[in-house]
Structure 1
Amino acid sequence: MQSLAWANLQHRPARSLATVFGVAVGTVLVLLTTGLARGIIAERAEREARVGAHVMVRPPGSFGGGVVSNQPAYPLDKIPRMAAIPGVRAVVPAIQYALPSDSGIGFRLLEGVPWPDYAAMSGVQIVAGRAPQGPDEIVIDQEQARSRGFELGARVTLSKHAFTVVGIYAPPSGARIKAPLETLQSMLEAPGRCSLVFVQCQAAGEQEAVYQRLREAFPTDQIIFMRDLPSLYAGGLPALDTFLRVVVGLSLIISLLIVSLAMYTSVIERTREIGILKSLGATNTFILLAIEQEALLLSSLGAVLGIGLAYLGRWWIVSFTAFRAIEFDPVWFATVAVVALIGGGGGALYPAWRAMRLDPVEALRYE
């Protein structure tokens, strides 16, 4: 029976290739979408980890791991009390302001920080130009400079405010674009306030103790371990899970429709062949399994091709776009394989049922 399925595929190679490619499209859709989502979350968490802080303190009522608010609400007068807590080495306030991305999809961050204190905590260094000094000056990381084509001295408009790029820093840390803290306070009309505070401990082993002291001193504030940011980012995007389920559902529908159409056409074209098989004693079960095996073979080939195309797509995206982090989870390889097989098997059910019901005599007379 297996040789029969292969023979049927080879007999009509154009249609077989079209079906395999159609299934592959659904596989690529799922893998690249999930890979981009995982990669963006992981990449942002990695940049936040390079800040050098161990704990983040945010205003009460902040949720998830994303941007707190475009309206800073945390008073700077709490910072001296934080700095005086035993075990704390450094405290750096920051404002994270969400801006629409150039593509119109998602957002990018403009971060306001006191540059000397931030650089001392994170260890970042200016590799070209100088640190920001004036209110209309920004520094960017090397990836931002490369992907956006920004050069030293370039004029950049962010939220209707014109800035000049005066420096490029490395390694990436936090938001890719940084301005003086006072500039964002002025832009957002929030003097004496920030979005969050980075707290660096004197030793990494003191994180838990410092966390408890901060919790006692500021019981209403949201206090987060920096090491927990990856899970918080993922958990802070509930719509992402829904979106991924929709993508998987679309992939299943694509597989169902494409395989169903291909196998239905195949059954019609092979009506006489099916009639001959039935006249020679082939049972309904044999016919059903032959159709289903062919459909599952098409789906398997489509899934394999889709995985290969997904890796090719990842290479292209990483090489020619601003996205640098696309992570493929092995769980999703299994998911797309199962989805492809379910879609293929399910899509072949009606054509197989139709083939089973063919009358041998009528089938032999079919032209």
Structure 2
Amino acid sequence: MNKLVVGNLVHRPLRSLISALAIAIEVIMILSITAILLGKISGFKARQNGIGMDMIVRPATTNNFLGMSSAAASIKIADLLAKVPHVAVAAPVNINLTGSLDSIYGIDYKSFNGLEPFTYIAGGPFQGPDDVIVDDYTATGKKIGDTISILNHSFRICGIVEHGKGGRKFIPIETMGNLTGTEGKASLFYLRTDDPPRYQEDVRKAILAIPGMSQYNVSTAEEYLSMISPTRLPYMATAIRVVVGIALVIGFLVIFQSMYTAVMERTREIGILKSLGASRLYIVSLVLRETAFIAVAGIVLGIVASYLLSSALSARFPTLDFVIDLPWVWKSAIIAFVGSVLGALYPAYKAAGKDPIDALAYE
């Protein structure tokens, strides 16, 4: 039977190739959208872990994805937090998200650097209100003293640091406030506590007991980062489901059209097989095996193409966070295969139901 299947596929190479490419595109669609969305999450988590904080204090109105809510807390709260027992460092940060989804961190340099010191590749700390510290990715093709535009304002690059410490661009928090109309405000406060996690619960209770702060979100780094996942972000989970659904429909329709046309063209061949004693199950199995060959070829092609795309994008856009998630590789393969088989079921049963006499007389 396998020889017959391969023969049928080779006899119609263009149709077989187009069907396999359609399945490959289905896989690429699923892996690409999940690579972008989940990569954004994993990249965000990695950069948050590199800040050096172990607790985070936010106003109740602040979005989990930092920078998507306006700064609503007074910077002076940092002084109160610094006095809480077992708080070693309290760093106020004003985060702004630009139109290109680039997070700009307005920081109090002394406290933010106190969480975990910057690792400088060149230059050093702020020398003035219009200085900016950038990470090595942002600094590609640039040097100390160059000017870049941030929030429609010109900044001089004063330091280049290793990536992975929250944002990619850091400006004085006072300057951020002046540019965004949030003078004296912070989006959140990063804390470094003594001997975490030993005192974290005590710190949380002490902060919530401060007058006016009972409504603030006080979380450990682990608690906060656990909330950054597709299941906790409804719009992201919905986006993934929509793309998977569209990809499934594409695979189903392409295979349905391909196999239905193939069955119509092979009516006489099917009649000969049935006249030789081929059962309905044999005919169904023949069509489904042909579909399986096409699906497997398309799935392999799609996975390989997705990894090549990931490598190319990572080399060209190192800040993109395009990360293919291995569990989604298996999920995309299963989705594509199931969609293909479902698309072939009706053509398979239509072929199996043909009357051998009518089929032999078919021209």
Opposite residue 262 of structure 1, the aligned amino acid is: S
Question: How far apart in 1 are the matches of 2:236 and 2:132?
Answer: 32
Deviations along 1:183-210, one digit per CA (max 9) or x if unpaired, are: 0111122232211111111222333332
1:171–1:108 CA distance, 2 compared to 1 (3 A): closer
Opposite residue 271 of structure 1, the aligned amino acid is: T
CA contact 2:97–2:103 (8 Å) conserved in 1: yes
Which residue number corresponds to residue 18 of structure 1? 18
Quick one: which of 225, 228, 231 aligns to 1:230?
225
Quick one: which of 120, 123, 126 aligns to 2:117?
123
Opposite residue 14 of structure 1, the aligned amino acid is: L
**More deviation in 168-177 or 56-65?**
56-65
Q: Give the length in aligned residue pairs.
A: 359
What is the deviation of 1:63? 3.8
Deviations along 1:242-299, one digit per CA (max 9) or x if unpaired, are: 1101111111111111111211221122122111112222222221221122112211
1:226–1:65 CA distance, 2 compared to 1 (3 A): farther
Which residue number corresponds to residue 34 of structure 1? 34
Question: How far apart in 2 are the matches of 1:78 and 1:340?
Answer: 53
What is the deviation of 1:172? 2.5
Paired residues for 1:153-302 under 5 Å: 153-205=145-197, 206-217=199-210, 218-234=213-229, 237-302=233-298
Which residue number corresponds to residue 345 of structure 1? 341
CA contact 1:139–1:168 (8 Å) conserved in 2: yes
Q: Alignment partner of 1:144: what SS? A: coil
**More deviation in 281-290 or 92-101?**
281-290
Which residue number corresponds to residue 138 of structure 2? 144
**More deviation in 49-58 or 231-240?**
231-240
CA contact 2:105–2:170 (8 Å) conserved in 1: yes
Which residue number corresponds to residue 104 of structure 1? none
Paired residues for 1:68-107 under 5 Å: 69-70=69-70, 72-101=71-100, 107=101
CA contact 1:185–1:193 (8 Å) conserved in 2: yes
Question: How far apart in 1 are the matches of 2:18 and 2:60?
Answer: 55
Which residue number corresponds to residue 110 of structure 1? 104
**More deviation in 245-254 or 261-270?**
261-270
Question: How far apart in 1 are the matches of 2:259 and 2:337?
Answer: 14
- What 5-or-longer segments of structure 2 have no aligned partner? none
Question: How far apart in 1 are the matches of 2:306 and 2:68?
Answer: 34
1:298–1:266 CA distance, 2 compared to 1 (3 A): same
What is the deviation of 1:163? 1.9
Q: Alignment partner of 1:227: what SS? A: helix
Percent of aligned pairs with the same amino acid? 31
Question: How far apart in 1 are the matches of 2:24 and 2:8?
Answer: 20
- What 5-or-longer segments of structure 1 have no aligned partner? 102-106
Question: How far apart in 1 are the matches of 2:233 and 2:146?
Answer: 34
Question: How far apart in 2 are the matches of 1:365 and 1:258?
Answer: 29
What is the deviation of 1:68? 5.3
Question: How far apart in 1 are the matches of 2:329 and 2:179?
Answer: 46
Which residue number corresponds to residue 8 of structure 1? 8
CA contact 2:48–2:166 (8 Å) conserved in 1: yes
Q: Alignment partner of 2:139: what SS? A: helix
What is the deviation of 1:308? 1.6
Deviations along 1:274-328, one digit per CA (max 9) or x if unpaired, are: 1111222222222122112211221122112211221111111111223463433
CA contact 2:52–2:192 (8 Å) conserved in 1: yes
TM-score w.r.t. length of structure 1: 0.91
Q: Alignment partner of 2:160: what SS? A: strand
Question: How far apart in 2 are the matches of 1:100 and 1:90?
Answer: 31
What is the deviation of 1:220? 1.4
Normalized per residue, which structure has more helix? 1
**More deviation in 211-220 or 79-88?**
211-220
Q: Alignment partner of 2:157: what SS? A: strand
Quick one: which of 290, 312, 317 aligns to 1:316?
312
Question: How far apart in 2 are the matches of 1:160 and 1:324?
Answer: 23
What is the deviation of 1:171? 4.3
What is the deviation of 1:176? 0.5
CA contact 1:124–1:171 (8 Å) conserved in 2: no
CA contact 1:272–1:365 (8 Å) conserved in 2: yes
